[in-house]
Amino acid sequence: EIVMTQSPATLSVSPGERATLSCRASQSVSSNLAWYQQKRGQAPRLLIYGASTRATGIPARFSGSGSGTEFTLTISSLQSEDFAVYYCQQYNNWPPVTFGQGTKVEIK
Amino acid sequence: EVQLVESGGGLVQPGGSLRLSCAASGFTFSDHYMDWVRQAPGKGLEWVGRTRNKANSYTTEYAASVKGRFTISRDDSKNSLYLQMNSLKTEDTAVYYCARAKTTVSNYYYYYYMDVWGKGTTVTVSS
């Protein structure tokens, strides 16, 4: 099973600032990595797939990078609606599909 | 509009059974692999299992934590996905989401990520 590890667990950022979230895989997942955003009481929403491709309707301030075992989600200028929990997920090797434990982005 | 709507959640005693449903609309359901994902209270996302499509014989895969207790099925004529949960444990308490698995191809291999999610249905296992 591929273990996904996200850091930090919590990121405190001021609106307008840049946020950088990390995700590490226990073995290579090539570029088969997705990022999801989950707001309180809501279902997850796909942000990024293929490590760097934005899903339909996702603003350009969200960008993904990386391949192999190291990945980054960057939010260039945080808006109030971006404060949420973010999960990475590998889909290179399954079963099982595996998620990271999440990074909570909170208002500083 | 592409939509997934889960139903069937509720309170059940340990050892009991429950069947969840997921109604799909706005896309060709029969073409897609489909997933169940759950989230325990205050916890992260956990993949439960996946059903392949008819072209791949509707075969299924499960997380180790539910294998042998949960069964995923689908009825393409009704655009519906199901999760039969037996021998429920308190640790199965969670919000259960169904999700569409989107196909992508790379180097002649197929990969599947979850691109559309339902709002979820809550299952509580408690005496």
- pLDDT tens for B87-103 read 999 999 999 999 999 99
Q: pLDDT per residue over A57-100, tens digit each?
A: 999 999 999 999 999 999 999 999 999 999 999 999 999 999 99
Please check whether residue A94 touches B, CB under 8 A: yes
Is residue A89 within 8 Å of residue B57, measured between CB atoms? no
Please check whether residue A100 touches B, CB under 8 A: yes
Closest CA to B94 of B58, B60, B63: B63
Q: Which chain A residues are within 8 Å of B3, Cβ to Cβ?
A: none
Mean pLDDT of A94-107: 96
Please check whether residue B55 touches A, CB under 8 A: no
Q: Which chain A residues are within 8 Å of B49, Cβ to Cβ?
A: 95
Cβ separation of A87 and B45 shorter than 8 Å? yes
**Between B45, B49, B63, which is nearest A44 by CB?**
B45
Distance, CA of B30 to CA of A45 (rounded, Å) = 22
Q: Report how far apart, in Å, the C-alpha atoms of B39 and of each of A50, A64, B2, B23, B76 are.
A: 24, 24, 22, 20, 26
Per the structure block, which two tokens stand in for B88? 């429920």
Q: What percent of chain B has pLDDT over 90?
A: 94
Edge to edge, what strands does the sheet with B80-85 contain? Answer: B3-7, B18-25, B80-85, B70-75
Please check whether residue B119 touches A, CB under 8 A: yes
- The mean predicted confidence, pLDDT, of chain A is 97
User: In the prediction, which pLDDT does B48 show?
Assistant: 98
Cβ separation of A102 and B104 shorter than 8 Å? no
The residues pairing with B105 across neighbouring beta strands, listed in sequence order, are B110
